[in-house]
Structure 1
Amino acid sequence: MGARRPVENLLALAVLTVAVQRPMHPYEMASVLRARGKDEDMPIKWGSLYTVVRNLAKHGLLEAVESGRQGGRPERTVYRVTEAGRREAEDWTRELLSTPRREPSSFEAGLSVMGGLAPDEVTALLRQRSQLLQERVEAARHALDQQRDELPRLFLVESEYALAMLEAQAAWVGSLLTELAEGTFPDLETWRAFHVSGRMPPDLEALAERGTTEE
């Protein structure tokens, strides 16, 4: 885990990376980020953009270079990245590339409590997920093939990674479905019996009470 950053919202990193290109006002930053599809690469709340920009300026990572008004539009302040901001963006990028982080997904959360549903229902739900994953894999492959004709690979590596993660998840879900369908999933009958009787076997109940992770 790296040191605490002055502005920890990932939108701040996105802002710094576009401000390195040239001075911009926040509205222009948002337009560039949207055009680059950054909201697909990281969690971005567009409503907080101006707050993030102000916080970056407060900490000396951006600085205002001019402020003006065109016609009846609100006044717009143009910001440029400072040397400290440039170093922050570089260091932050190094950390993200080099250091794996534990980032639980909503799917992991669902898997952690799937025992609360009967095996047949879980199987049906996973088949539904498998179908959706296959559709997304095909769509992502098609989009990536089209982008390869227009963009250098440097700007596509995040799309390649996203596709690889989709493919890996689809393969894993398919493997789990095979275990459930063939009856080779461990304790499948115990799981099924629990949903018939409503009574959990004592050994599984003890595990549920204390959890399965030991220090």
Structure 2
Amino acid sequence: MAKRRRVGNLMALAVLAALVQRPMHPYEMASLLRAHGKGTDMKIKWGSLYSVVHSLAKHGLVEVAESSRQGGRPERTIYRLTEAGRQELADWERELIVTPEQELPRFKAALSVISVLAPDEVVTLLQRRLEVMEARLADQREALAGYLREVPRLFLIEDEYEVAMREAEAAWVRSLLEELTSGTFPGLGLWRDYHETGHVPPEISEIAERGGDTD
């Protein structure tokens, strides 16, 4: 089970990792995280950066390294990682790697109620989804190959993972399309009959009732 973190926002993980390099002002942290594409690696609300940094400081995970003011400009505060923050970062990273968590993508939500659409329409929609996925995959593979010529693989491992996950999803969509278009998908006839007649087949109704009893 995942631990309850003192600051659980994933932006905190990114901030702690950035401060491993050197002490920084929050604006510098944001610039570095954007430059490294962290907005695509995790869900980040950039407007919350300062509050995340303040929370990390409150819990002793970062501390003020330097604070100065020039003329009438706002105070400039530079933060550094504490030993407690370094330990939190390492412990959090270990947990994220070793503990699988259930993620709920929007596509899974759509699949959970896919029967509301007729099979033929689902085929058309999946084909369009697959076309978009394959185009994006081609772009991602090309970009990754280019980056690997200049950047060590260690710093691109998250991009490699994303490509692998997208490839796996695309392969699954292709296999589902094959079943639907070849007619080998189990229960396809009942699904089609429902949309042609507007009546839920008794077999499907019975299964739905049994499923509802287990919620």
Verify same fold: TM over 0.5. yes
Aligned to 2:69: 69
Q: CA deviation at 1:195?
A: 1.0
> 1:29-48 to 2 correspondence within 5 Å?
29-48=29-48
Aligned to 2:188: 188
CA–CA distance in 1 between the matches of 2:202 and 2:132? Answer: 37
CA–CA distance in 1 between the matches of 2:141 and 2:212? Answer: 38
Deviation digits for residues 20-66 of structure 1 (CA, Å, limit 9, x no counterpart):
11111111100000111111111111011111111111111011122
SS in 2 for 1:211: helix
Q: CA deviation at 1:214?
A: 5.3
Structure 1: runs of 5 or more not aligned: none
Aligned to 1:153: 153
Aligned to 2:94: 94
Q: CA deviation at 1:71?
A: 5.3
SS in 2 for 1:55: helix
Q: CA deviation at 1:213?
A: 9.4
CA–CA distance in 2 between the matches of 1:67 and 1:131? Answer: 52
AA aligned opposite 1:19: L
SS in 2 for 1:144: helix
Q: Which deviates further from its counterpart, 60-69 or 32-41?
A: 60-69
AA aligned opposite 2:23: P
1:206 correspondence with 2:206: yes
Structure 1's 213 and 75: CA in aligned 2 closer, same or farther, altered over 3 A? farther
CA–CA distance in 2 between the matches of 1:70 and 1:32? Answer: 24
Aligned to 2:131: 131
CA–CA distance in 1 between the matches of 2:22 and 2:158? Answer: 23
CA–CA distance in 1 between the matches of 2:83 and 2:18? Answer: 14
CA–CA distance in 2 between the matches of 1:72 and 1:41? Answer: 37
AA aligned opposite 1:59: H
Deviation digits for residues 140-173 of structure 1 (CA, Å, limit 9, x no counterpart):
1000010011100100111111111111111110
Aligned to 2:113: 113
AA aligned opposite 1:8: G
AA aligned opposite 2:3: A
SS in 1 for 2:3: coil
Instruction: Provide the aligned length of Structure 1 versus Structure 2.
Output: 215
AA aligned opposite 1:9: N
Q: CA deviation at 1:210?
A: 4.2
Q: CA deviation at 1:97?
A: 1.0
TM-score, normalised to structure 2's length? 0.95
AA aligned opposite 2:5: R
AA aligned opposite 2:55: N
SS in 2 for 1:54: helix
Q: CA deviation at 1:72?
A: 5.2
> 1:9-28 to 2 correspondence within 5 Å?
9-28=9-28
CA–CA distance in 2 between the matches of 1:210 and 1:57? Answer: 52
Q: Which deviates further from its counterpart, 71-80 or 107-116?
A: 71-80
TM-score, normalised to structure 1's length? 0.95
